Structure formats: structure tokens, C-alpha cells
A and B are shown apart, each in its own frame.
Chain A
């Protein structure tokens, strides 16, 4: 594991992503190695458990020193639809009171921000998103719900995200996204990569139902734009 300073910063994440690209292209074959980036750390996992750590440790330092500027892998900004409504946004009214903001204002703030994917974990396809506006910071619920529905969009502290499957969860629910975040039938089961950006946009119930059907039959195209490195 390689660690950077204990901060949530895009520049650190970019360094990590560049280092991964450099290692993949020059030294560590993707068939033999897994690369798990998150916030300020990179964990390298070798398929062959017999590993000469004493050899690799100084090598990694050396490689990091000489890597220079590397173009990271192409990154995308994804636009994801959210049906912000009391039907699925079970906590919208409550946090509206807690934050002193109208439901409309919460939706506006949440969908006008652009979030960075700092990590994927906890559940398959669960994104750790950074970039929640200060005005929307609200503590997680004191008692977690035993079941949060797949697709639910939640807010907790400095984080927001989508539950990729039914799961227990303690985040404040504000809406539901009809696009599945994880699909085992695809070679790449999760279209998002660490380092990508996410923007949410509000949709109506009719659009939610339409997108849900489109997603089920596999014809929903997720809007994306390529980000400059």
C-alpha cells in the first residue's frame, strides 16, 4: 500500500491515478496485479502470493520518482437522473427542517454540484463521492434502516451516493436513480471509475419510470462527457 497525505484533495487523487497508469504501462501487468485507489491511498494486490516485498518497496519509490507527468486514463463526467420526491426521498422533509432549506432548494443544491469519485467500495458499485456543498452537510441517521432500496440516493456528512443494491443503510434518503450502478452481465460491471465525476439532474416520475424500463432492457444511454486530464 502506498499512502499520500491524509487529505481529501483532487491533486492527490490525480497523482494516484497517474501513478497507476504509469505502473500499468511500464512495470506491473494488469493480469497479475490489482490496483485499488481510494482518497489518499493506492493498494497494490499481486495475484501470486509469493512476493518479494523487500525488492518491490524501493522499486516503487524509484518508479514514483521517475514517473514524471503521465496522462491518466480517460476520465468521464456522468450525468445521472434522480427522481427527487417524497415517495423515495424518505428523509427529504426531515432534513429540510434540520438544514433550514426548502425541499426545492435541497434538490437545486444537490443537482448543481459536481462530485468526484474518490473511491468505490463498501458494496459492489458503491461510490464515495466528494464535493457536497456545506449547506447540505447533515449527520447520518441515528438508527440505520434495515433495508434501503437499490438506487436510493443518500446524503451523510460530506458524502453523497447511490445504494447500488438493497442494503441496510444509515444515510438520509433524498431520491432515487433509475440507472443501475452495477451490472454483473457486463464485462465492465460498473461503468464509473475512481477519478470520474458525477452530476445529478432532477427528473419527473414519468421520466423515472421510462428510464427504469430503458435500463432494464439495456437501452438506456448514460449521458457522459470526456474530462480533460
Chain B
């Protein structure tokens, strides 16, 4: 078990998400920055579906009650393992009783903690990703325990990785969305020349942007939306749906982020800047 001494600001368990229930209105969920998580699981030689901890802004303090191996990834935070500093994308051996403490966030927004063979809270509808009310929990709670399997011996093929990080990128590559054709020349130039910034309204469901462009009054019938779909509201607000985003929407879907752009945006916090670029 992993004992949660301090839960942090918003810490959840995430894997690759739920597949096959979108026609019943169930969001995909899953890690916001799937790029960083895939590197973490690769280093641990885990199956890609292994669940990790997603740590947002302020990290937890955790006590390991079984031997295992861990890898950190995603956002950069000052992290100590029994008072010794540890870094991203390196395999560390954990002994029973070890304590991992997260400190200051230095770059990015979401950090990941991967563990050998993954964390094992109950799987609901094919995924361990927290999403209330599909799962009972929304975040990990103080003094709760999170199950994982013991691993005493693991000889990683690669013990550290130099990752071409998503943290420094400020260009989001996008595809044209289904309603892209509705955009006027003015809207197009606003979209691709504006320096956009993340609004305070940003979470696992959606990121709103501070800058507005000319609105779109087209009334359309509700249709499917995906993680990474960018909607344009009648008042000109841009809403980027993220991993917990609703599965249908009624605003024009003007752009669609690439998978890597989703990871880049997932590492942005309120006030961070970026531009869109058509792929």
C-alpha cells in the first residue's frame, strides 16, 4: 500500500482512460499529459495502461509500505526521497518505509509518479482513472491507502531517459475541426496570430482562454466532442475540452488539438501563453 500522508492540491490516479462508453455520455478521463506518462511507464517497463498518480501544482507526501521501483515525470517539482533530491525520468528503488515528499513546482503544472506494475485502485468500466461519480473517489485523501504490488528485484534496461520535454513548448498544433469552415477571415487571423493565455477557469474538464475572438452565432445540433476539441461560443470565448470533458456539445468545433498539443497544454497553468498553429 501507498500511505497518503498529505494528498497535495489535486492528486488523482490516471491511466489511459475509459473506452467504449462515450455513447452513454462517459468522458474518457485518463492522464492529461499522456506523453510524459508514456515515458514514465516505458522506463518502468510497464504496460502502457498502468495507472500513475497525476499531481497538480502542489504535490503530496507519500509513504511506501512495500518495496518497489518508481519513476517521476511531467512537471518539474523539487522532490525528495527520504531527504535526498530525486529527478524526473530516472528509475529509483523504493524500500518499505521510504517517504517521498513533493515541494515547490518549478516548471509545468502536472507531475506524474509511476510505479512498477502501476497503482491498483478498483477498475470501473475498464479504467482506474478517477472521475466522480463513475469512481467513488475524485482525489486521493489524507491517510488513505492506495494499493500496488510488491517488486523486490527489477533490472531496468534503461535507468534514465533524456526526454524531449513538452514543458518548454508554446506552440499548440491543431487540426481543422468539423466546423472550421464557418470561420471568417477575421476569425482565422485572430486564431492564428493571437498570443493566447490560459484563463483561471482551467481544470481536467476544460481550459478556457482569456483572449476572445469574434463570436460565432451559428446554432448547431448537439454532436460528439473529444478531448482536445476547441469550441467557439457565441460571445467569442474559446473552450478547449480536456480529458474529463463532456462527450457532446452544441458549440461549433473549430479546431482539434493533436495528441502532443494536449500534453503541452496540460502543462500550462493560469496566465501561461501559447499560439495555435495549423498542422
Taking Cβ atoms with an 8 Å cutoff, the residues of A that contact B are: 1, 3, 6, 8, 30, 34-41, 43, 45, 47, 49, 118-126, 128, 164-165, 182, 184, 189-190, 193-194
Q: Is the CB of A120 within 8 A of B25?
A: yes
Please classify the interface of chain B as helix (H, G, I), strand (E, B), loop, or mixed, using the class held by over half of its residues. loop
B124, B133, B135, B178: the one contacting A1 at CB < 8 Å is: B178
Whole-angstrom CA separation of A35 from B247 in the bound complex: 12
Q: How far is the CB of B180 from chain A (nearest CB, A)?
A: 12
16 contacts between A and B (CB under 8 A): A1-B224, A34-B22, A34-B23, A38-B221, A38-B224, A39-B222, A40-B221, A41-B223, A41-B224, A122-B246, A124-B26, A164-B25, A182-B24, A182-B25, A189-B26, A194-B23
Q: Is the CB of B25 within 8 A of A190?
A: yes
Instruction: Indicate whether B192 reaches chain A with its CB closer than 8 angstroms.
Output: no
Closest 4 pairs between A and B when the two form their complex, measured CB to CB: A121-B248, A43-B224, A39-B221, A190-B24
Nearest CB to that of B27 among chain A residues? A124
Q: How far is the CB of A191 from chain B (nearest CB, A)?
A: 10
Q: Is the CB of B25 within 8 A of A123?
A: yes
Given A36-B22, A38-B222, A38-B248, residue A184 in contact with residue B125 (CB < 8 A): yes
Q: Is the CB of B246 within 8 A of A123?
A: yes
Give the most central of A45, A124, A128, A164: most B CB within 10 Å.
Answer: A124
Q: How far is the CB of A7 from chain B (nearest CB, A)?
A: 8
Whole-angstrom CA separation of A182 from B24 in the bound complex: 9
B19, B23, B223: the one contacting A35 at CB < 8 Å is: B23
Chain A residue numbers with a CB within 8 Å of B249 are 121
Whole-angstrom CA separation of A121 from B223 in the bound complex: 9
Whole-angstrom CA separation of A43 from B135 in the bound complex: 26
Nearest CB to that of B218 among chain A residues? A6
Chain A residue numbers with a CB within 8 Å of B27 are 124
Q: Is the CB of A45 within 8 A of B226?
A: yes
A30, A41, A45, A125: the one contacting B25 at CB < 8 Å is: A125
Q: How far is the CB of A33 from chain B (nearest CB, A)?
A: 9
Whole-angstrom CA separation of A123 from B134 in the bound complex: 11
Q: Is the CB of A122 within 8 A of B21?
A: no
Q: Is the CB of B224 within 8 A of A189?
A: no
- Number of contact residues on B: which range applies? 20 to 34
Whole-angstrom CA separation of A43 from B178 in the bound complex: 11
Nearest CB to that of A44 among chain B residues? B224
Please classify the interface of chain A as helix (H, G, I), strand (E, B), loop, or mixed, using the class held by over half of its residues. loop
Q: Is the CB of B25 within 8 A of A124?
A: yes
Nearest CB to that of B136 among chain A residues? A184
Chain A residue numbers with a CB within 8 Å of B21 are 124, 189
Chain A residue numbers with a CB within 8 Å of B133 are 124, 165, 184
Given A1-B178, A120-B23, A124-B134, residue A6 in contact with residue B221 (CB < 8 A): yes
A6, A119, A182, A190: the one contacting B248 at CB < 8 Å is: A119
Q: Is the CB of A45 within 8 A of B248?
A: no
Chain A residue numbers with a CB within 8 Å of B125 are 184, 189
Chain A residue numbers with a CB within 8 Å of B25 are 120-126, 164, 182, 190
Chain B residue numbers with a CB within 8 Å of A184 are 124-125, 133-135
Nearest CB to that of B221 among chain A residues? A39
Whole-angstrom CA separation of A54 from B224 in the bound complex: 21
Given A1-B224, A165-B133, residue A122 in contact with residue B22 (CB < 8 A): no
Chain A residue numbers with a CB within 8 Å of B65 are none
Chain A residue numbers with a CB within 8 Å of B22 are 34, 36, 45
Instruction: Indicate whether B67 reaches chain A with its CB closer than 8 angstroms.
Output: no
Whole-angstrom CA separation of A43 from B125 in the bound complex: 21
Whole-angstrom CA separation of A194 from B223 in the bound complex: 13
Q: Is the CB of A121 within 8 A of B247?
A: yes
Whole-angstrom CA separation of A182 from B178 in the bound complex: 30
Whole-angstrom CA separation of A37 from B23 in the bound complex: 7
Of residues 153 through 177 on chain B, the ones whose CB sits less than 8 Å from some CB of chain A are: none
Given A119-B248, A128-B222, residue A3 in contact with residue B23 (CB < 8 A): no
Chain A residue numbers with a CB within 8 Å of B23 are 34-37, 120, 193-194
Instruction: Indicate whether B220 reaches chain A with its CB closer than 8 angstroms.
Output: yes
